[in-house]
Structure 1
Amino acid sequence: MIIKKQVYQADRKVNPFIGILLFLISIVLLVVTGPIGFVYGLFHSLSTKGLRGLGEYLLKIAISIDQLGNVMMMYLLNLLWIKKEGYLFGNRDETISSALGRNKQLDTLTGFGKFIDKVLDIIDPNHSLNSIDYYIEPSDQIIDKLAWIHLEHGKILSTRSKGKVNYYIPGGKREVGETDGQALYREIKEELSVDLQLPTLKFMGIFEAQADGHQPGIFVRMTCYFGNYAGKLKPDAEIEEMVWLRYADRDKVSKVDELIFDYLHNKGLLL
């Protein structure tokens, strides 16, 4: 089943006085009710699930504190930990470690940022890379796209748009209100003139990399699906060329497609 995802919307503008008032109210509630809720949570998790429940409860709190820190310290972290072209800290749905991992992928950490990353790796190997959250709501730094993975005889179907040099795995962006399946069906119909059979769609994975043609620090997130189709494949709309690529053609595709090629090759699906 393809689950409908919420469409990203930028934070709405608010009256600054309302923001200040809500902040003060939240602080009062945290100070007054926080300790009570925390103590009750400790007893409840211990009594229902034992030490495992306690660990799960404390981990949730740790992640929430990490997300709070990502917003509270974003200007300082952006100044000290990353280069000017890096992926910015400050997404309220993301942890500090996740943003750190994205900058490690981009090689945009400063010397201090690399030091922090190494310290975390001593405590937990590959901590920042393993902490990257691929399920946070996309922001203006993450381009959210879908891809249809179609393989035949160890080759993957790829396309090249008019005026482009690189090849891309077929797919595109969602329109408002569309599910993943609906968006992929529309995009593949427009690009390749075939009808995806929605009941056959199977989630493959989510991949992120620097977006082609965008300034450094802008990621493209590709959510990939396998699926059958009906009809005859042929280029349409803005597609100038349709090709079947092997793993050896990895240098002809975008950064995110390179990751997908690696994944499929390691699985023995792309030769």
Structure 2
Amino acid sequence: MIKKKRVYRTDKTVNPIIGALLFLISIVLLAISGPLGFVYGFFHSLFKKGFKGIGEYLLKIAISVDQLGNVIMQHLLNTLWVKKGRYNFGNRDETISSALGRNKKLGTLTAFGNWIDKFLDTIDPNHSLNSIDYYIEPTDQIIDKLAWIHILDGRILMTRTEGRDRYYIPGGQRKDGESDAKALLREIREELSVEIEIDSLFFLGIFEAQADGQKPGVLMRMTCYTASYQGELLPADGTTEIVFLRHEDRHMVAEVDMLVFEYLWEKGLLE
């Protein structure tokens, strides 16, 4: 059974005065306790794991600083490193390198942004692409979807809803407090009239691309699972058509679904 370890929700609206006050408190605490905590952490890591422990400790700090920089410098980076149709810097749960990688995939880096990316690649090959974090909190630029991958005789189950020309992998979004398993069970029951067997859920992967029908820079992040089911596949809840498509039919699906098609084809699971 697959259980989600973290549930993400968008930030609540905060009084700006409270925000300013909390900022000042955090700065004071950091100035007082930061140096002491760093020294203690350094020697604790040294005695526990030697130089390897120090390296791991410093890497954690570097990632946290990177996340802080993504928030502090968001407006500057959005001006200098990326262009129209971009994925914005500024998600507090994400590093600068991760946002840089997303814009590299979208092709929205400026000349300066491309130079920064190439410089990082000389230090660590494919640094920004490998830094993309698919577990960050959803924002207005990231649509988080769960998807059920069902393959029969080398073809993948796809659906089409009323008013749409493209086919989509069945699934949907979580409701507050739902695990991946419960959300996918509910969505597939509503969409296809069958019951997913929870105990058979198997995580396949996370895929991300420009969201279909959304403005440039809005991404669809799709977490995919395979699973057995009980019942008869029947269209429901706005689903007008159920089909099984091959790899050669990928031009009929959304961008993120194309990535899934390519992945399954490379694995020899799709004709």
State TM-score, norm by structure 1. Answer: 0.96
Match of 2:269 in 1: 269
Superposed, 1:36-185 pairs within 5 Å as: 36-185=36-185
Q: Is the 8 A contact 2:174 2:183 kept in 1?
A: yes
SS at match of 1:235: coil
The offset of 1:30, in angstroms, is 1.4
Q: Is the 8 A contact 2:10 2:137 kept in 1?
A: no
SS at match of 2:212: coil
- Rounded to whole Å, the distance in 1 between the matches of 2:167 and 2:157 is 10
Residues 75-98 of structure 1, C-alpha deviation per residue, up to 9 Å, x if partnerless? 000111111220100000000000
Identity of aligned residues (%): 66
Match of 2:236 in 1: 236
The offset of 1:7, in angstroms, is 4.7
Read off the aligned partner of 1:94 and give its amino acid letter. Answer: E
Q: Is the 8 A contact 2:211 2:220 kept in 1?
A: yes
Read off the aligned partner of 1:255 and give its amino acid letter. Answer: E
- Rounded to whole Å, the distance in 2 between the matches of 1:221 and 1:180 is 14
The offset of 1:22, in angstroms, is 1.8
Match of 1:24 in 2: 24
What is the Cα-based RMSD across aligned positions, in Å? Answer: 1.2
Match of 2:212 in 1: 212
SS at match of 2:44: helix
Residues 102-148 of structure 1, C-alpha deviation per residue, up to 9 Å, x if partnerless? 11111111111111111111111111000000011111111010100
Q: Is the 8 A contact 1:8 1:139 kept in 2?
A: no
- Rounded to whole Å, the distance in 2 between the matches of 1:195 and 1:19 is 46
Spell out structure 1 runs of 4+ moving beyond 4 A. Answer: none
Read off the aligned partner of 2:52 and give its amino acid letter. Answer: R
Residues 136-183 of structure 1, C-alpha deviation per residue, up to 9 Å, x if partnerless? 111111101010000111111111111111111111111222211111
- Rounded to whole Å, the distance in 2 between the matches of 1:100 and 1:70 is 10
- Rounded to whole Å, the distance in 1 between the matches of 2:49 and 2:7 is 36
Read off the aligned partner of 1:93 and give its amino acid letter. Answer: D
The offset of 1:5, in angstroms, is 5.6
Match of 1:198 in 2: 198
Q: Is the 8 A contact 2:9 2:137 kept in 1?
A: no
The offset of 1:6, in angstroms, is 5.0
Q: Is the 8 A contact 1:160 1:167 kept in 2?
A: yes
- Rounded to whole Å, the distance in 2 between the matches of 1:154 and 1:261 is 11
- Kindly tell me the number of residue pairs found equivalent between the two proteins: 271
- Give 5+ residue unaligned stretches, structure 2: none
Read off the aligned partner of 1:76 and give its amino acid letter. Answer: L
Larger mean CA deviation between 67-76 and 160-169 belongs to 160-169
Q: Is the 8 A contact 2:170 2:191 kept in 1?
A: yes
